[in-house]
Amino acid sequence: MTHTSLARSVAYAFAMAFALLGGPALANNDATPTRWVITLKPAARAQAADASNSVALRLAATAQRFAASAQLRQASVRHFVLTTADTPAGNHFQDTLDALRQDPMVLAVEPDQRRKRHNVVPNDPLFSSTTFASTQPVGQWHLKGNSGDVKSATNVEAAWSYSQGSASVVIAVLDTGVRFDHPELRRLTAGGRLLDGYDFVSEDSPNKFIAANDGDGWDADPSDPGDWIDAALIAANPAALSDCAAEDSSWHGTRTAGIIGALSQNGTGISGVDWNARILPVRVLGRCGGFTSDIVSGMRWAAGLHVIGVPDNFFPAKVINMSLGGSGACSVMEQVAVDEILARGTVIVASAGNSGQAVESPGNCRGVITVGGVRHTGTKVGYSSLGPEVSITAPAGNCVNTGAGQPCLYSIDTTTDRGTKAPAGPAYTDQMNSNVGTSFSAPIVAGVAGLLMGMNPTLTPAQIKAALQSSARPFPADPSLSACPGNITNGDNVGQCNCITTQCGAGLLDALAAVKAVNPTECLFNWAERSVPDLLPAGPGTDVVGPYQFRYYPSRDSYLGVSADQGRLLYVNGSSVTDLGTREGWYTQSGCYRLP
């Protein structure tokens, strides 16, 4: 079947669907969504290449003949978004959906669900206090080494000795957009590292842009205008905001982007995890979150896949961060996009969620690196979602203090804006303006993935995931807590539990160990020292002489050298030289040069 024939078949299915509706949309019904996504079955490459605007226009015209308020938008060769101003009459609508799903060319018909930024309101009274007596910034504790009670810090500071990222790597941040006026998040053309990006927040319904809050739909400006909601706005726009609560602007995308790539070594503010990667802001969330169809379009565009009606992205991301989600299983539309993106070699990192329950979508999509949250002590933070879909955990922020006006001791410091509604100027979060949630665990992992890509740009998404997991540190145990998923249900430690691998992933993120895992020379040195500690008693450091990297072992007055071409592994002791690579087979035994 040609692509044109396929499109005609789908158009016929839509015609049948709207005929069943019996005319224009009727009164709103909260139980029936007004937006649906239709995913077609895959066609052969040659057939898919025949897709044209005329097909989309013909389908849209067919839809509007049967429902005046209906709009049909083709998001990609395989995806359509159907929008109506009001909810169709319920009596026949299920039959309509069934008819669409039974069409041989349709893979799935699903509600275009809202996904929301993974925000969290902890139970610490400090969080709701708006007046603070003092400011006690603790700094970026989560990027340092561990000491004392702090067991979940990620060793990023030590990893910078091996990798500070690469300008050839692009990390996309799919979120609420960014504030380009923040001095840590300037555009590339203004001396920063942010690319231009794109805005994929569409209309709520035909010609209504309450959620977008910027007066239009998709455009080339991913600036965050603010996502505030108040009671008056909800009352005036119940269809767009009915399932959302009043809140100030979150500047969520500015926060996640800062964790990944705030300008570093500039004597100002904070340090991003990756010092050199380009940051690609992709706005997919507005007020009340964002629709799955917009998020999927943003994902595909960020990875360099074509999105109909949008100029192609000439700076495809190697890493995508999504600190967002919604309840329920991974949709067919999301999984199709994830599979396409992974096949292009792009890593996808998502936060697990802040419900304390099952992992949310897209974190539960197959192939995603899903990040759970832990406290500074390494136990699961109460609000973090958990389950077998979690790949790894990282600090999510926790306050410890419960008194009003007290500092949140283990906040995740990052960039933000001072405005409660519209932008009011750059700022930073700190202990008195705290920042917690798995939304901020995920960008730490995404930044570390950028460091790994910077060291070895040939790494695949599967290899990145394997390196992060294999290098993770074991979870510590607090004898006062039970193993997850069991948790405390009252008091100051609600939701906390001791992490286990079936609920919280492979372990605690360790950036230093992960970087070494993808540097085969360091890996081989470390393996050799563990294997023959009497011969190689932990060298003090690595140096380079000619074609060799070597370590010196003063107690043995010996050297271990690895040649740049991986052809020799020399052990030098006095006048004796032994090639352990060939004679002893250490290259093969170590496994360091066979990445997973």
- CATH code, domain carrying 51: 3.30.70
Strands (E) in 213-283, as ranges, are: 278-283
Residue 125 has pLDDT above 70, yes or no: no
134 plus 150 within the same structural domain: yes
- Planar angle of CA 364, 459, 440, nearest 5 degrees: 45
366 plus 446 within the same structural domain: yes
Residue 538 belongs to a domain = yes
Question: Predicted confidence band at 521 (pLDDT cuts at 50, 70, 90)?
Answer: confident
Dist. CA 110–CA 33, nearest whole Å: 10
296 plus 378 within the same structural domain: yes
Q: Is residue 320 within 8 Å of 285, Cβ to Cβ?
A: no
Residue 191 has pLDDT above 60, yes or no: yes
Mean of the pLDDT values across residues 224-229?
97
Residue 224 has pLDDT above 50, yes or no: yes
Which one has a higher pLDDT value, 585 or 248? 248
Question: Predicted confidence band at 197 (pLDDT cuts at 50, 70, 90)?
Answer: very high
181 plus 98 within the same structural domain: no
Question: Predicted confidence band at 39 (pLDDT cuts at 50, 70, 90)?
Answer: confident
Dist. CA 415–CA 428, nearest whole Å: 5
Pick the range with the lowest mean pLDDT from 47-61, 342-356, 418-432.
47-61
Q: What is the pLDDT of residues 343-354, one digit of tens each?
A: 999 999 999 999
Q: Under 8 Å CB-to-CB from 258, ≥6 apart: which residues? A: 182, 184, 185, 270, 272, 414, 415, 416
Q: Under 8 Å CB-to-CB from 143, ≥6 apart: which residues? A: 153, 154, 156, 157, 271, 273, 444
Which one has a higher pLDDT value, 170 or 564? 170
pTM exceeds 0.85, yes or no: no
Residue 584 has pLDDT above 80, yes or no: no
Give me the number of domains the chain comprises.
Answer: 3
Residue 205 has pLDDT above 60, yes or no: yes
**Residue 325 domain boundaries:** 117-516
Mean of the pLDDT values across residues 495-515?
95
Q: What is the pLDDT of residues 140-171, one digit of tens each?
A: 889 988 888 899 999 998 888 778 899 999 99
240 plus 164 within the same structural domain: yes
Q: Is residue 84 within 8 Å of 68, Cβ to Cβ?
A: no
For residue 251, CA distances in Å to 177, 305, 484, 495, 544 come to: 8, 27, 32, 27, 45
Residue 270 belongs to a domain = yes
Of 55, 59, 61, 66, nearest in space to 17 by CA = 66
Dist. CA 359–CA 61, nearest whole Å: 40
Share of the chain above pLDDT 70, in %: 76
Helix, strand, coil shares of the chain, percent, nearest 5, are 30, 20, 50
Residue 472 belongs to a domain = yes
Residue 112 has pLDDT above 90, yes or no: no
Pick the range with the lowest mean pLDDT from 71-80, 295-304, 477-486.
71-80
Q: Which of 202, 223, 391, 439 is catalytic?
A: 439
Q: Which of 103, 112, 124, 175 is catalytic?
A: 175
Output the furthest CA–CA distance in the chain (Å, rounded): 93
Residue 595 belongs to a domain = no
Which one has a higher pLDDT value, 491 or 40? 40
88 plus 197 within the same structural domain: no
Question: Predicted confidence band at 62 (pLDDT cuts at 50, 70, 90)?
Answer: very low
For residue 28, CA distances in Å to 33, 216, 545, 548 come to: 9, 24, 74, 72
Which one has a higher pLDDT value, 165 or 48? 165
Residue 66 has pLDDT above 50, yes or no: no
Active site residue 439: yes
Question: Predicted confidence band at 26 (pLDDT cuts at 50, 70, 90)?
Answer: very low
pLDDT at 106: 80
221 plus 310 within the same structural domain: yes
Q: Which of 88, 112, 136 is the last residue of a domain?
A: 112
Residue with tokens 């726009």: 237
Q: Which of 516, 541, 561 is the last residue of a domain?
A: 516
354 plus 431 within the same structural domain: yes
- The mean predicted confidence, pLDDT, of the chain is 81
Residue 295 belongs to a domain = yes
Residue 596 belongs to a domain = no
Q: What is the pLDDT of residues 262-287, one digit of tens each?
A: 998 888 889 999 999 999 999 999 99
Q: Which of 112, 138, 160 is the last residue of a domain?
A: 112
H/E segment holding residue 559: strand 558-563
Active site residue 175: yes
Q: What is the pLDDT of residues 363-414, one digit of tens each?
A: 999 999 999 999 999 999 999 999 999 999 999 999 887 677 888 889 999 9
pLDDT at 177: 98
Q: Which of 79, 118, 182, 252 is catalytic?
A: 252
pLDDT at 214: 94
491 plus 560 within the same structural domain: no
Q: What is the pLDDT of residues 425-472, one digit of tens each?
A: 999 998 888 899 999 999 999 999 999 998 888 899 999 999 999 999
Residues 289/293/296/301 CA torsion (nearest 10 deg): -100
pLDDT at 93: 56
Pick the range with the lowest mean pLDDT from 45-54, 173-182, 229-238, 352-361.
45-54
Residue 10 has pLDDT above 90, yes or no: no
pLDDT at 403: 76
Residue 222 belongs to a domain = yes
Residue 314 belongs to a domain = yes
Dist. CA 256–CA 176, nearest whole Å: 10
Count of CB atoms situated within 10 Å of the CB of 209: 18
279 plus 405 within the same structural domain: yes
Dist. CA 211–CA 421, nearest whole Å: 14
392 plus 534 within the same structural domain: no
Residue 214's region, left for phi above 0, alpha for psi from -120 to 50, else beta, is alpha
Of 150, 129, 128, nearest in space to 139 by CA = 150
Q: What is the pLDDT of residues 523-563, one digit of tens each?
A: 677 777 777 777 777 655 666 666 677 788 888 888 888 77
pLDDT at 266: 82
231 plus 91 within the same structural domain: no
Integer Rg of the chain from CA: 26
